[in-house]
Structure 1
């Protein structure tokens, strides 16, 4: 068995890579042919015959099996053209057909194996070891060795390895990629933690409440595996057109042979019918579009996105980091008559610069935007669950919660503004209520115009907001931006179920940026990852928007429409010219040799049209501010 192992490895490699090997072999042999032809050598066709034997026969047999299953596409007609080229002794044409077939299959194989890279990215994000604490000793153990009720130490900036409960330490965790919650979540003894969350600045000790395989992150991996297995099968545009063109062209060739009893006319028709516009122009159009998109900070990972995006009628959006900035923003300041918003911000900002609380950054940013100078503060202290206090200009400043204020000063309740979605903090000056600050995960500046234009400009019939965030935050966004339907507090499994349900009704595009969005991205007709936050999300999506700007999504929509139109122009226009040539060939006006020349002219026209996408530095969009 040990001696057979290297052979098995070799066979496995050849089986998975042989299309790629044929592509390189085709390029080499065709280059050798041109060199020999330039030197007027007598053996110019030998390299091409070698390629036909090594690469052409396996490709032909593969396509022949497709024919037996009733799959008539562009590849099928290419197989017939390949045999025709050999019978006509046009070995160069046959070799070019082999090159096109092999390169197309190589691209398809790359897309099929995308699932493995998604799961690999998921696995690489999780730690392989955990720090288990027994008595006063901390020991590193494999993740699989964690048992329920084990005490696990999580150091700053580490990923939580297992679901559990905090038993020691105070800090915060970033769970945004798992739950959609945009804010860092404060953690104190008794708080629950999720596997996959990122610890921030403090050491936390947790007690494992689940095994790693049953924890939140492992569940997402399982859901993603299931979604990958059920990813919808989508036919290529070339095959869709070829399914019509191939039998018509073959019928035309057989008819010419039958009515004229001249096999040469049959061959001439097939040479002209070689589907090069399908096999060459469409890939060139797609490659040009991918290159053009890359210049605009849009990464097309799966070319099928360009074919399917224009057909989508339902758009589903995650909230956090996609339609919003993904971090708290100070939106409202309510003050008592004794203080102005600027005074309150100056006091609060002067304290918050010493805080690690998730809202501190939003306060500091607000002071910078308003050009408010911060002042010296003393005796600054922050106790988890109690708030932030300090002395400024001999005035005691306290930042606390509504609950704590009403416990201390219940008479202040009438002075407080109504409870609103999002987060808030209460400001006390010398133990007297002074102000309330409201924070929201604010929508992007372009979110409303982008969502509003999808139906009139791109014919979307349903626009949905599906978020893992709390209902109050989702409702707040829905009041500002028009949606057909909204769903809040959705788990990855629930998001996946919604996407699958909508996809059965109409082609669906899903856009998100968190790890919890990965299964839905994979299950949608088109999945678009927004931003650069998560490798897992990027791997699961068919396209990645590298800049945090929704205008880029509109650029992708227009690029996909242009790609589909140009590909269709090249393919259908090329076929129409082929039909004209086939008519002349069937009536005897064009010989097989002239037919080959005519077909090359068609190819040049189709390819020149396909290359139009490669030129230009910007993509026109129809957003009001685009």
Structure 2
């Protein structure tokens, strides 16, 4: 049975693709700049310690200003200069964000002698960059996770015995041995042995496939309990796993560049603030007014309010079993208008269930299930588990099976209650030309096996990977509740199986029999049209996740998928996906309240400063009051709302 089922269950999940992928060089303008990104964590830590030392010296030991200002001056030199370097680069590239105004504010604070204010700005800027640099996943981490799974050597079979060779030394037609629980090093064909192999890391399908002589194996698959001898059909560099790594590199290099909310607001606020300061200076002839305006214009609601709202939301997500690896996805998911889903393990449970028992005339359905389940007790095939589960649900007592064996070309055979049984595929049964084969129903979507009892066709059993209980409600609420314009289903399965699931959950647009390369191309094309959300659970989904605006992994099936995704849903539940959308929407609202409200108050203060009613010191105090209000409002994001989802 296992051999025949394997033919059905592969479902063309990984159609071959020989196209080569090349990794273009990264743009020199990728943000953040290399120098600032590398030093941001160190600068943030140093700034925090320096400010703490200043406060202790100033209020604890009440030292003279010339002494307690030294830590702040060191912060402005060691932390401010790299920032000013980055500021100069952005000016040359005509980039005007909130951090640009922060840089101007640092210069202003130095000219005013407000070293504490300048040091706080350095801490805010470097801390924000350090947090984002730490949280954002990089290509190296994903590729390292991929490489970690692969063996560094292969077990080559020679006349003298088995010898370990470097993976890159394996040539086509080499004979290799895959030990139990080893990872297959290259693509190949089984020439000796029989056992199960888990290809879920590559195909996304959770079924363990039985491998016998003549079966194909793919690199990256995990061998079962039995040793297999294979003939290599591809070199390691050309095998399926290596191709996925190549696609991953390409996906990383072409990842969409996303603009932060603070940057977009800062692009408007910064030139307005500088213009008001210059006008005040020119109109009054007093340089202090320029300084006063810039002090109160320091974009702390942008630099603090938005990060606080994001950090609070990340904390709330973590308490809801949602791990946010890339903070920017909290800002971006609300703008996604195309949702793309993998099938197995995402919209389905990833476990086949018996859905139809089609009996030939003269055979009782319960009797057939009883006989088949009794024999299936001796099989390790995934469909055997589905049959036994159906028998258990029906409360069927299983009689003893005897003379059980699996013969090549016949499948699983045995004797139960005096009846001879054979469980195999339709093609193998048709080759035997036994009575009743003309009654086998037409091929349908999903998985199947056929049963012969006493050398006569008796039944066809059909199986489906059932959709999750919340799949239909989740998919159908995306448009009215979250403004998604398109919902797509992307899978490596056969079209009949994908179409069946799509009809069950309410998706009209499908792409079936897609390789990771083809998935990547589709997602990249859709992302060029509108921002996309991609939800999947297997390694074959990782490149597509990276190409989407927001990549989301459900469950903990693959460390590579988790590395590639911006969000990891620890529970296998679409309800958690909806919770993340609601947390994101609320975070964005709170962040905008803090940022826009704080900027509006700052603009009012800028008007008073420009008119000469606020000195630089008074402006700094007023700005601190505005900052506190913005931060207190942003802290609300850490607390759960009344409604977490609306499915």
Give the alignment's TM-score, normalised by structure 2. 0.90
Does residue 114 of structure 1 match 2:135? no
The 3-state SS of whatever aligns with 2:487 is strand
In the alignment, what sits opposite 2:165?
A: 141
Is 1:132–1:152's contact at 8 Å kept on the other side of the alignment? yes
The gaps in structure 2 that reach 5 residues or longer are 1-33
In the alignment, what sits opposite 2:62?
A: 40
**Could you give the per-residue CA deviations for residues 518-576 of structure 1, whole angstroms, max 9, x where no partner exists?**
11111111111121111111111111111111111111111221122211111111101
In the alignment, what sits opposite 1:526?
A: 550
Distance in 2, matches of 1:218 and 1:532, equals 22
Residue correspondences, number: 611
Q: CA deviation at 1:16?
A: 6.4
In the alignment, what sits opposite 1:301?
A: 325
**Could you give the per-residue CA deviations for residues 148-168 of structure 1, whole angstroms, max 9, x where no partner exists?**
110011122221110111111
In the alignment, what sits opposite 2:129?
A: 105
Structure 1 residues 323 and 263, CA gap change in structure 2 (3 angstroms): same
Distance in 1, matches of 2:441 and 2:62, equals 91
Alignment of 1:30-109 (within 5 A): 30-38=51-59, 39-42=61-64, 43-109=67-133
Structure 1 residues 157 and 288, CA gap change in structure 2 (3 angstroms): same
Once structures 1 and 2 are overlaid, which stretch shifts more, 379-388 or 148-157? 379-388
Does residue 128 of structure 1 match 2:149? no
**Could you give the per-residue CA deviations for residues 95-145 of structure 1, whole angstroms, max 9, x where no partner exists?**
100001111222343366611100000100111111111136111111111
In the alignment, what sits opposite 2:429?
A: 405
Distance in 1, matches of 2:481 and 2:113, equals 52
In the alignment, what sits opposite 2:511?
A: 487
**Could you give the per-residue CA deviations for residues 266-306 of structure 1, whole angstroms, max 9, x where no partner exists?**
22211111100101111111111111111111111111111
The counterpart of 2:180, out of the listed 149, 156, 165, is: 156
Is 2:435–2:456's contact at 8 Å kept on the other side of the alignment? no
Distance in 2, matches of 1:546 and 1:619, equals 20
In the alignment, what sits opposite 1:28?
A: 49
Is 1:315–1:462's contact at 8 Å kept on the other side of the alignment? yes
Q: CA deviation at 1:201?
A: 2.8
Once structures 1 and 2 are overlaid, which stretch shifts more, 485-494 or 175-184? 175-184
In the alignment, what sits opposite 1:3?
A: none
Structure 1 residues 539 and 385, CA gap change in structure 2 (3 angstroms): farther
Does residue 426 of structure 1 match 2:439? no
Q: CA deviation at 1:618?
A: 7.7
Distance in 1, matches of 2:74 and 2:380, equals 69
Structure 1 residues 603 and 371, CA gap change in structure 2 (3 angstroms): farther
Is 2:137–2:325's contact at 8 Å kept on the other side of the alignment? no
**Could you give the per-residue CA deviations for residues 33-72 of structure 1, whole angstroms, max 9, x where no partner exists?**
1111222111221211121112112212221221222111
Structure 1 residues 425 and 66, CA gap change in structure 2 (3 angstroms): same
The 3-state SS of whatever aligns with 1:161 is coil
Alignment of 1:333-352 (within 5 A): 333-336=357-360, 340-352=364-376
Q: CA RMSD in A?
A: 2.0
The gaps in structure 1 that reach 5 residues or longer are 1-12
Does residue 582 of structure 1 match 2:606? yes
Q: CA deviation at 1:617?
A: 8.1
Structure 1 residues 15 and 85, CA gap change in structure 2 (3 angstroms): closer
Once structures 1 and 2 are overlaid, which stretch shifts more, 469-478 or 219-228? 469-478
Q: CA deviation at 1:387?
A: 1.9
The 3-state SS of whatever aligns with 2:180 is coil
The 3-state SS of whatever aligns with 2:231 is strand
Q: CA deviation at 1:366?
A: 2.2
Q: CA deviation at 1:250?
A: 0.9
In the alignment, what sits opposite 1:442?
A: 466
The 3-state SS of whatever aligns with 1:578 is helix
Is 1:406–1:412's contact at 8 Å kept on the other side of the alignment? no
Distance in 2, matches of 1:384 and 1:201, equals 20
Structure 1 residues 54 and 391, CA gap change in structure 2 (3 angstroms): same
Distance in 2, matches of 1:115 and 1:618, equals 38
Distance in 1, matches of 2:395 and 2:114, equals 76
Alignment of 1:306-345 (within 5 A): 306-336=330-360, 340-345=364-369
Is 1:173–1:200's contact at 8 Å kept on the other side of the alignment? yes
Give the alignment's TM-score, normalised by structure 1. 0.93
